[in-house]
Amino acid sequence: MPRTLITGGAGFIGSHLCEHFLAKGHDVVCVDNLLTGAEENVAHLEKNPKFTFLKKDVTNYLAIDGPVDNILHFASPASPADFERLPIQILKVGSMGTHNALGLAKAKGARFLLASTSEVYGDPEVNPQPESYLGRVNPIGIRGVYDEAKRFAEAMTMAYHRVHSLETRIVRIFNTYGERMRLDDGRALPNFITQALQNEPITVYGDGSQTRSFGHVLDLVDGIDRLLLSRVWEPVNIGNPDEVTLLEVAKEVVFLTGSRSELVFQPLPPGDPKVRRPDISRARDLLGWSPRIPRLEGIKRTIADFEKRLDAKDKGAA
Ligand code: NAD
Ligand code: UDP
């Protein structure tokens, strides 16, 4: 059975990947320094003898015993709230962390999959965004630390592919949500759901007319699995093209939670992209992938998970 190493494995998406590849029978090595992740996210996997958790910072030289067949490089803070809080860590993990993970893949002869992002498109002039769109990123803006780190990571991945003939994959992930997102993560859905469940004001930034396209994490995991098994080295967008304004999403969360919360409008963060929607033709044509979980169903599942965790937190505090 393959041995699959997942950097950022104790994070939101990473923990679902650990679960998925263990369920497929892989040996899974989760490498995480717990900067924005939590060991609780993988605690339910720790009794499985095929699972190993290693607390390590991937910006340092990465030594791993034994063979490794796949490396999925997911380590990186990802919430805009972290872009101001952790700018240097983000730049380091996207650059030095990616270099170390690629070096390990080369040493082990492993296949390498990079978690890139729709942020490489910046504040786009075309909507939806195909992979051929080269983007509009402000390198010195607040979001630049993340966008440029991921653009560098893509360039470094392609250099290893071209120079060392490494088997590489690049997934450009659009807004993904779901169970196990941090309660105080700062991104739109965790904020809205936490606020609604506590009957607190729902913070809509700007006038809420900006759009995003939210995909459920299990659809993403399916896309990543297909990409890893494919021979596609070009970047592939994975996301749900069902585009929606933030105002609509805020109202959906209030409706689905039955909350008494009111919407409050706060300033739009600088550089906040006005629109975002994936063109998923490439994923459809080359991977046979398309999303299956409708937004309202995915949000309902996420609400149930947040409710459970908020209850547990309240009980812990009592
Ligand atoms: P997350 O913060 O839950 O997960 C990131 C994980 O990386 C955390 O567990 C964190 O502790 C770990 N990490 C950070 N720096 C590290 C370091 N130097 N060494 C080891 N571990 C480190 O965020 P997420 O939403 O699960 O995102 C995971 C990946 O997917 C990121 O690379 C992110 O850029 C990418 N992505 C996510 C989205 C999304 O909508 N969630 C969209 C596009 C791309
Ligand atoms: N947003 C919002 N209220 C919040 C958090 C975010 O209106 O409490 C908006 C944010 O300005 C952006 C969109 O929701 O337009 C998605 O933000 P998120 O932080 O989820 O990720 P982004 O897509 O900006 O990287």
Q: Whose CA is nearest to atom 5 of ligand 2?
A: 188
Q: Whose CA is nearest to atom 25 of ligand 2?
A: 80
Ligand 2 centroid distance, CA of 4 (Å):
32
Res. 314: pLDDT tops 90: no
Element (H, E) at 214: none
User: Among residues 55, 65, 61, which one has the least CA distance to residue 102?
Assistant: 61
Q: What is the pLDDT of residue 313?
A: 87
Q: What is the pLDDT of residue 318?
A: 66
Residue 288 φ/ψ, nearest 5 degrees: 65, 25
Beta strands 243-245; 211-213: pairing state: antiparallel
70-73: strand order across its sheet: 51-55, 27-32, 3-7, 70-73, 111-117, 168-173, 235-238
What are the extents of the domains in the chain? 3-181+215-241+276-293
**Which of 61, 121, 133, 146 is labelled catalytic?**
146
Reported as a single tens digit per residue, the pLDDT across 36-71 is 999 999 999 999 999 999 999 999 999 999 999 999
Is the minimum distance from the CB of 195 to ligand 2 under 6 angstroms?
A: no
Res. 317: pLDDT tops 80: no
Mean pLDDT of 274-299: 98
Can you list the positions of beta strands (E) in 118-187? Answer: 168-173, 176-177
Give the binding-site residues of ligand 1, using a 6 Å CB cut-off.
7-8, 10-14, 32-37, 57-59, 74-78, 93, 97, 115, 117, 173, 175-176
Q: Whose CA is nearest to atom 13 of ligand 1?
A: 75
Which CATH class name applies to 3-181+215-241+276-293?
A: alpha beta
Mean pLDDT of the chain: 97
> Do residues 94 and 153 lie in contact, with contact meaning Cβ atoms separated by under 8 Å?
yes
Q: What is the pLDDT of residue 315?
A: 84
146 belongs to the catalytic site: yes
